[in-house]
Amino acid sequence: MAQQAPIGVFDSGYGGLTILSSIRKLLPQYDYIYLGDNARSPYGTRSFDVIKDFTLQAVRFLFEQGCPLVILACNTASAKALREIQQRYLPTCEDPTRRVLGVIRPTVEALEATSQSGHIGILATPGTVSAHSYLLEVQKLLPHLSIYEHACPMWVPLVENGESQSEGADYFVKREIDAVMQHHPEIDALVLACTHYPLLRPKIEHYLPEGVQLIAQGELVASSLQDYLHRHPEMEVRLSTGGGIEYLTTECADRFGNLASIFISEEVKARRIKID
Ligand code: DGL
């Protein structure tokens, strides 16, 4: 049997930490490597090809560290790069039994139970919205639901710059919530379809009209991963089980550690790496 190794978790920056926390809570036995491409974040306003290239570089890097399974804990990367990686890159790579999973499918699969009105808003980066991945996936799996995708271009920069608790963040949070709810007042569930957005959750909840449910992805992705590992014991046996975590960033390690510790309330010691 091949040597056992950690699960790789990738995001453009800090956002994927919200997914990682939920995964580690549900599946604490495994080892993890978290990689944030903070030096090139945000991805959400970048072009299709650039996001594809950056994501592929990150996946390759995590494969080189031995990870047999990588989670793209980033909607933008999942929307723009996952299909290409699964269909073109994996079959031809050195070890085609490795797997890469995203966050969009597990989120859509959980939507059925969330809305009474059948009208659901998707708050995401401009990149995710322009790919219409949520709309397409919902049309395929749950065609009776109506989906409204809304881009919140300033929310990721606020989080990446450590401004998620600031007064300035109130302006941008209120602006987007008001915009989506004024256009579609029938919405009764809003999905935080960007892994950075849970970090703005207290402010989002503050401006949300009563009766509108907020859906975050962490627990959905974690239970979908648990289910995947039950269905794929051949992958499960390849995962190392020490409960360890290594944090990697493409930006300054100290800065990553300081900001990450705020978001996941534990001490984070990161290591800077280069990917290209
Ligand atoms: N956290 C990422 C997502 O879920 C994207 C953030 C970015 O724009 O880099 O979409």
| pLDDT tens digits, one per residue of 191-239 | 999 999 999 999 999 999 999 999 999 999 999 999 999 999 999 999 9
Strand ranges (E), 153-228: 189-192, 213-215
Distances (CA, A) of 56 to 68, 106, 125: 15, 21, 19
Is 74 a catalytic site residue?
yes
The ligand 1 site (C-beta within 6 Å) comprises: 11-13, 15, 41-44, 74-76, 125, 128, 156, 194-196
Quick: pLDDT tens for 143-199: 999 999 999 999 999 988 889 999 999 999 999 999 999 999 999 999 999 999 999
Number of Cβ within 10 Å of residue 246's Cβ equals 14
Please give the single-letter amino acid code of residue 213. Q
Q: Which residue has the tokens 């579609």?
A: 184
Q: What is the pLDDT of residue 113?
A: 85
Of ligand 1's listed atoms, the one at least distance from the Cα of 103 is 4
- Considering only residues 169 and 261, tell me which one the structure prediction assigns the higher pLDDT: 169
Whether the model pTM is above 0.85: yes
**How large is the average pLDDT for residues 16-39?**
97
SS3 label, residue 161: coil
Q: Judge contact between 70 and 59, C-beta under 8 A.
A: yes
Nearest to 123 by CA among 188, 175, 205, 194: 194
Pocket test residue of 76, 123, 160 for ligand 1, highest count of atoms within 8 A of CB: 76
Is 252 a catalytic site residue?
no
